Every structure is written in C-alpha cells, then in structure tokens.
Chain A
C-alpha cells in the first residue's frame, strides 16, 4: 500500500490520539494530572444531609448506573428511644427519589449517605483472583472491567455492600469517585449535586484541602471501624446505631 503525505498525517494523528486517551499520564507536563500528588477520599457531614436524593440521581446519570443498583445510596435511620432499640432503616430505591415525610417525634432520625469507602486496605482488592480490582496510586479503588472475571468474590468481601455485578457487562461495578472527573480537576457528581455540601471530595495529600480542618475540628468516625479497612470516607456526627 502506498502511503502518501495525507495518509501519513492521518495515521500519525490517530496514533497520537490513541496513545493520549485513557488514563492520565503519570509523567507531568505543566497542568497535567499527577497521579502521585493526590490521595482521594470523601467527607460526609450527617447533620447536613437532608435525604433529597440529588447525589444518587446525579451519580446514576453521570455513571450510567443500571436501574436497581447503586454506586451511592442514602439510608434513613430512625432510632427509637431506649437503650437497646433496634433502628428502623430504609433506603427505598437507594433514596434516589428522596424520602416521604415521617410522623411522630419520638425517634431520632437522620440520613446516612453511603458509597465506596475507598479503603486503603481494601478487602475487595485483596480477594480479587486476577487483580482486576486495584487501588490506584492516588488512592481510588478501581475495577478493570476488561479483566474482571465476574466471580463476585469482591462483592462478598466488601463489608459495606458497595459492589454489584453490572447486569449487562457481567463484571463488577462500583463507585469510582468519578475518577474521570476528579482527574480533570472537577469534583464528583454527587458532591456537585449536593445542595447542602454534606459531601465533600477530599484530597488528603493536598495540605490546603479543607479536609484537614474538617478532620481536625470534628469528631470523626468511619463505617465499621472494626473491619480495619482504613476507610477514607470520613463521617461527622455518625451515630452508633449506623451499620
């Protein structure tokens, strides 16, 4: 085949475009995303969450989450008075349509947004038989869907119920902390949609990130600390009833 100048230019441009797409390069040119300069997590202020469901809807749209599955969801807790009261928890459709108003004033009520905890010692990463689930250098637990076997061991291993099998792709799916956005300098879809700022993306490696002040000035808890997963989703005002 004869390659003239026009074909040559098309070919080289295509190769350049192919090699520059995909994950951002670790080698930094000015302004490029440096994967080693970040350590991502999230802060959630329970007192600020109003259960509107904006975050769930934004996530579903941004990430084309299949119906009936959730990368993020909201739980409504209702803790009746009494020392050994079992909380009544609901999350209808993951809270995507918000929650109906509740009657009565006896119980303690609050909303708990949930998502992948981006654990630094992640049980899901540990159990993946082929390493399709991994922690990126900037601390986000990701899944290589072209490599995942769909064995579901990671779904079993996640203590927080954050993973599901994508009904079409037949591979595991989960919150990526909107990796495609945060590597472009944006915040996550859920954080952007939250009207009260209850959720905040946190870069723990950035000394000027407000997360440091948040962690310093508040009583902080992670979900299921006994699991020792080094979760990076930090909750303020998390009640002991939350599971």
Chain B
C-alpha cells in the first residue's frame, strides 16, 4: 500500500510537497506590490488624473505589502539564519539568487525614495507642528532636508517623476522575475513556459489594482467620506482592460498546452479534472475571472446607478482577489501535485498551527494591513487632510 494521498506512482522522494502555502503567498504579495505601484504610476507618468485620489494610497499599499513580501520566504527556509548569504555570495546562475537585489532595488531605490519625495513637504511641516514624540519621528524622516521652497519642490517633483519612470520597469522586473523563478524550472511541465513571467506580471497588475480599489472603498467608508466615482470608474476601467489581457494570456497558455499535447498533457489534464477542479476551474476561472470580468465589462457597456456600480465594483474586486490567489495556489501547489514521472499524483495537506500552516499564512496576510494602517496614520494620503491623523 502506498503513502496516504498518493495515487499511481510518485518517485519516493516526491511524496512530500516541497513548497507550501507560504510560497503561494510570496507571488501573491509581490503581485499586489507591483500592481499597486503600476496603478500609482498611471497618475504620475501617464497623467490619468482621475485616479489621483488613490495615488498615495497605492504607494503606501505597495510599501506595506513589500515589507512583508520576504517574510513567507524567510519562514519557509530550512535555515533562515543563513539567508543573508544570498547577498554575500549570490550564485549568479540562479534565478532565486537575484531576489534580494531585485527586492532591495525596488524597496530602497524606487518605493521609499518616491514616497519620501512625495511626502517631503508634509514631513517637514509635521516635523514642526506635530507633538512630541511624533515630532521626532518626522524630524528623522526629513533626513535633514528641510528646504521646501518652490524651487526645492520643483526638483522633488522632477526627481519623483524620473523615479516613477524607473519604477515601472522595476515593478515589471519584480513580478516578472517571480514568474521567471517558476517558468524556468524545466523539470516541471506545469511551470515551464516562457509565458509564466508575462502571465504573472499581468495577474499582478490585476490583483494590485483590485486591492487598492477595495482599500480605497473601505477607507472611504471608514472615514465617512464620499467615494470619488470618477476615480472608481477609471480604476475599474483599467482593471477590466488589464484583466482581459491577463485572461487572454492564460487561455493562450491553456490552448497551447491542449493543442501541443506533449507527454505531460495527460497528467496535467487529469489534474485539472480532479485535484485542481475546485481551485482552478471553479475558483480561479469561473468565480475569480469570468464573473468579475462580466461585472466590470457590463459597466463598460451599460450605465448603472452609483449604488449599483459600487456594489458591482466591490464584488468584482473581491472575486478578483479570490481568483488571483487561486491562480497562485494552482501554480505553486498544483505544480507539485503530479509526479515528474507523469505516472502519479500526490496531495497537499494544509495544517493550521505549524510554521508553514494556515495560521502563519493568515498572520502574514494580516500583517500588511497593520503596517498600512500605521503608514496611513503616519503619512495620511488623503488629499484634503493636512494633519497627521491621531498624532
């Protein structure tokens, strides 16, 4: 009798899954970062002024999630205390070795710098008006630069623009790179496709835009202020366009696999019809992609009342998040459920109170929201608000 949960033949060392739900969170979180940043860049670089109310919120959302992005990886390592070796002695042929550098580049050069430049005037003002001890925090955040003359602001604006321009390919790099980590594993037929980085990139944009939209709606509700419907309509319009591209790419991948029908096809086809049916066909495609596309698409064709639009957008946003999470799950977990011999299948047993269990994942998913809450208090992104809230 074979090991529990195994059907057919697995190589003996394959029975245990190597990458757990934490590795599902990794592309999910980095996707939110990249997507949120790209939404922010719409206003800054492409002059889509309608989305201005979400510009700063998008940047802070990206930062909150970026700070958490390496934690799932760190928690997953057999020896997390050695992870610094990736910086000291990176193996240049390894896709994964570049993570630290891509991450640091994005965090330090793009995101922190852009946020600092954008908030510099407020930081300097708060460093003079806020009460201690927050005044000291703002003083530190000024980094000693207190010149907010019109000339200094113009320079800030220009430098900020350049950083955003650099930031767009950097965001592409960040998430395209994550896709490459999977797409370049030739031993795994489920992952090995050059489309993987592109699919990851567009799905990142979808999830990031949807996340910022939901956070904006929730924040407006909490703050009891009216939602800027022009902003919301525009965000959803972009969400729809990007989602169409993302879905087309995923369908292209699917059609390619079905038409080519190589040696892995029978195995993958079996998986989609059995172990991945609920997470892929139902959750990812029907619930998480087709339904939000219909909701968003309907708004491009018909004119609904404001209340209906809000409800439809909120539903579409939530379902999108479910769909993109399911997509990450299906890639990471799905890619390990079949044997590299194509002769058998295993199963994934998600536990709760373990280092790589559901409990840890929930904490890791809540953590960015706690960080975001703190960031919103420290650096209020609301345009009409000039006081640091609660300080």
Chain A residues engaging chain B, CB cutoff 8 angstroms? 69-70, 73, 75, 86-94, 114, 123, 125-131, 147-153, 155-165, 169-171, 227, 243
Contact = CB atoms under 8 A, between A and B. Distances in A.
A147 B79 CA distance: 9
Interface in B82-109: 82-83, 85-86, 89-91, 93-97, 99
B271 to A, nearest CB: 16
Given A131-B91, A155-B13, 19 more contacts: A69-B13, A70-B13, A89-B341, A91-B12, A126-B94, A130-B97, A131-B94, A147-B82, A149-B85, A150-B78, A152-B18, A152-B19, A159-B187, A159-B340, A160-B340, A162-B13, A165-B18, A227-B186, A227-B187
11 contacts: A89-B341, A92-B2, A126-B93, A129-B97, A131-B91, A148-B79, A156-B19, A156-B185, A157-B186, A161-B340, A170-B79
A89 B343 contact: yes
Nearest to A228: B186
B13 A161 contact: yes
Contacts of B95: 127
B219 to A, nearest CB: 37
A222 to B, nearest CB: 15
- If over half of B's interface residues share one DSSP class (helix, strand or loop), that class is named, otherwise mixed; here it is loop
Contact of B94 (A153, A161, A227): A153
A157 B187 contact: yes
Interface string B173-187: 000000001000111
B86 A160 contact: no
Nearest to A153: B96
Nearest to A89: B9
A129 B12 contact: no
A73 B89 CA distance: 34
B342 interface: yes
A88 B9 CA distance: 8
Nearest to B343: A89
A16 to B, nearest CB: 29
Contacts of A131: 89, 91, 94
Contact of A128 (B76, B91, B188, B340): B91
B353 interface: no
Nearest to B73: A151
User: What is the interface of chain A mostly: helix, strand, loop, or mixed?
Assistant: loop
B96 A243 contact: no
B188 A156 contact: yes
Contact of B12 (A94, A126, A243): A94
A163 B97 CA distance: 20
A51 to B, nearest CB: 14
B14 interface: yes
Given A87-B343, A150-B77, A157-B185, A127 B96 contact: yes
Given A129-B94, A147-B85, A149-B85, A171 B79 contact: yes
A170 B80 CA distance: 10
A149 B82 contact: yes
A152 B86 CA distance: 14
A92 B1 CA distance: 8
Q: Which residue of A86, A127, A164 has the most chain B CB atoms within 10 A of its CB atom?
A: A127
B333 to A, nearest CB: 12
A90 B6 CA distance: 12
Given A129-B94, A129-B97, A156-B19, A161 B11 contact: yes
A91 B343 contact: no
Nearest to B341: A243
Nearest to A71: B13
A113 to B, nearest CB: 12
B187 A243 contact: no
Contact of B91 (A91, A129, A157): A129
A171 B83 CA distance: 13
A224 to B, nearest CB: 9
Contacts of B96: 127, 129, 151, 153
A95 B47 CA distance: 66
